[in-house]
Amino acid sequence: MTTGVTLPRRESGQALAEFAVALPIVLIMIFVTIEFCGAIYAYTVIADATSEGIHYAVVHGSDTGGTVARVKSVASYTFHDVSKIAISVTYPDGTAIPPARVAISVSYQYVPWLGNFMEHPPTMRAFAEGRLVR
């Protein structure tokens, strides 16, 4: 007992050719979407890490080492190599005495999951500023 529709002999080759053309296009679209989502996720985590660094710096004042450690700790959630992250903690008013401002600038060279297809990955940057409150 046979079920289903059988194609005439000359049309079965056409279906295979259409599949062979469509499959690479669909796979490329899937991989590009995954890579794009990964880049957006990495940027979001870098921005959140900068915000967390400002929260730490506002409360702890001139503890720049602790601020950098806090930013790196939060940035490690990206599943990427954060050893190449550059963090700059500055005091635009020239002092770390409240109510002075503190600024954090973070830059990160994005490491793509599909590295062979992206020759020049973007550098992600985030900036945050706050006032010391002690």
Neighbours of 132 (CB within 10 A): 20
Q: What is the pLDDT along the chain (134 residues), one digit of tens a residue?
A: 566 766 666 666 888 889 999 999 999 999 989 989 988 998 999 999 999 999 999 999 889 999 999 999 999 887 777 888 999 999 999 998 999 999 999 999 888 887 777 788 889 999 999 999 86
65: number of Cβ within 10 Å: 10
Domain ranges of the chain: 12-131
Q: Which two tokens stand for residue 13?
A: 């080759």
Long-range contacts of the stretch 83-89 (C-beta < 8 A, 24+) = 84/108, 84/109, 84/111, 85/46, 87/53, 89/53, 89/57, 89/64
Which class for 6: exposed (0-12), middle (13-18), buried (19 or more C-beta within 10 A)? exposed
| pLDDT at 10 (0 to 100) | 61
